Structure 1
């Protein structure tokens, strides 16, 4: 049995963008990939944003069965080693800890739609974010990860951040 490829998605509050990415990847290929998400300590939300929950339910994707968490939980020396850390906003990219196992990093920047004042616009933007993430993640799961040149895979994962 081959090792599952660990991916951590990072956004500031771990309430919308990173939750959408984690749930979508877990839905697309749970056998090959192990998806997790986290946020910046002191910024993490107490619960998932309602727009993220609604977007996932509308796409028939299960909502993760845990609360938002800080990257402190995933950066411990005894935490499972990730192969990739994908940051979903540039504001948290420079503040991240040293991840166990030195995973490859990529920035897939998305706007912070959770902070909007209009709930209808936030709900619409969350669905659009999920659609965009799903396109990128479908390409990610189609990459030949096992036995491939690591630097080529790293470049491909980073290049997915430029997909529109």
Structure 2
């Protein structure tokens, strides 16, 4: 049996962007990928945003079965090392900890759709974000991860951040 590829998605509150990404990748390929998400300690939401819940429900993708959490939980010395850390909120990038196992990092910047927008607009934007993430994640899933040149895979994962 092949080792599962560990991916951590990071956003500020761990309530919308990173939840959409985590749930979508876990849905697309749960056997090959071990997926987590987290947010910046002190900024983490108490629960998933209703727009994330609605977007995932509309796509028939199950929610992660845990509450939002900070990256301190995933960055502990005894935590499972990830292969990739994908940051969805570039404002968190300089504050992130040293991740166990020195995973490859990529920035897939998505705007914070929760900042001062009307709730109807947030719901629409969350669905659009899920579609965008799904396209990127389908390409991620199609990459030849096992036995491939690590630097080539790293470049491919980073390049996915430039998709429109």
Normalising by the residue count of structure 2, what TM-score does the alignment of the two structures yield? 0.99
Secondary structure of the 1:144 match is: coil
Question: Could you tell me which residue of structure 2 aligns to residue 30 of structure 1?
Answer: 30
Task: Give me the CA root mean square deviation.
Answer: 0.5
Question: Could you tell me which residue of structure 1 aligns to residue 115 of structure 2?
Answer: 115
CA distance in structure 2 between the aligned counterparts of 1:96 and 1:57, rounded to whole angstroms: 30
**CA distances 1:93-144 after superposition (whole Å, capped 9, x unpaired):** 0100000000000000000012333111000000000000000000000000
**CA distances 1:44-88 after superposition (whole Å, capped 9, x unpaired):** 000000000000000000001110000000000111110000000
CA distance in structure 2 between the aligned counterparts of 1:159 and 1:72, rounded to whole angstroms: 27
Question: Could you tell me which residue of structure 1 aligns to residue 137 of structure 2?
Answer: 137
1:35 Cα deviation after fit: 0.7
CA distance in structure 1 between the aligned counterparts of 2:116 and 2:161, rounded to whole angstroms: 23
Question: Could you tell me which residue of structure 1 aligns to residue 76 of structure 2?
Answer: 76
Alignment gaps of 5+ in structure 2: none
CA distance in structure 1 between the aligned counterparts of 2:153 and 2:61, rounded to whole angstroms: 27
CA distance in structure 1 between the aligned counterparts of 2:59 and 2:116, rounded to whole angstroms: 22
CA distance in structure 1 between the aligned counterparts of 2:25 and 2:34, rounded to whole angstroms: 8
Question: Could you tell me which residue of structure 2 aligns to residue 50 of structure 1?
Answer: 50
Secondary structure of the 2:40 match is: coil
Question: Could you tell me which residue of structure 2 aligns to residue 40 of structure 1?
Answer: 40
